[in-house]
Structure 1
């Protein structure tokens, strides 16, 4: 399930590290919105905020080894926009679940899958990143 993207066509990129604390999810979400608005992708800001919140929340709850930070990277290329959230839990792979109606958890990856065009996991020896992409060629937000 590990996958890497060819980054030769990257136009812009932003990466910030956060403490593994619930408030960091809010800060990460806001940062993604601000960056996308600054770069001219305000139309995708809401969806990107939502997936950032879901993936960052998962990093805080499941992915950060005690004391380790998680990071959020937003990358824009000509045809795609990617949101990645990385942490140090290399062996912890996200698994989509079917949440019961009364469950408070278990919907995050379903939300990510619904809002984006594709998602997956990239890995290295020291970290993993769960990522999702918006296909800019299929949206009204495609930039020239």
Structure 2
């Protein structure tokens, strides 16, 4: 892949990723998690991890959706910024591990789409995230 085409691809990926990162801050509202995870209802079983027990409440599960979406937002906006700065890091000694780490993120995200379903749209989303992973594998070895 030509360097200018690679930089264009990473720039477009960066814009997409930063936008996705910003939108992720609001996913619990956009996807109506409050209705999907009601705070009233039957008690949940406690979370157990070895000898530890935590009396999980519905508000905990709802709160985790916010925490995890904010963590995803932070990661996505960071990856987007790194992609937009690709001309500065491509060809540097740290480009290989950086680009492979980002590729791994996208490939895990692609496969994770199957948790949401196996409808036609899910396969398209999986393919899009897999392409982002392949783009970063290409960047790693550029």
Higher strand share: 1
Higher helix share: 2
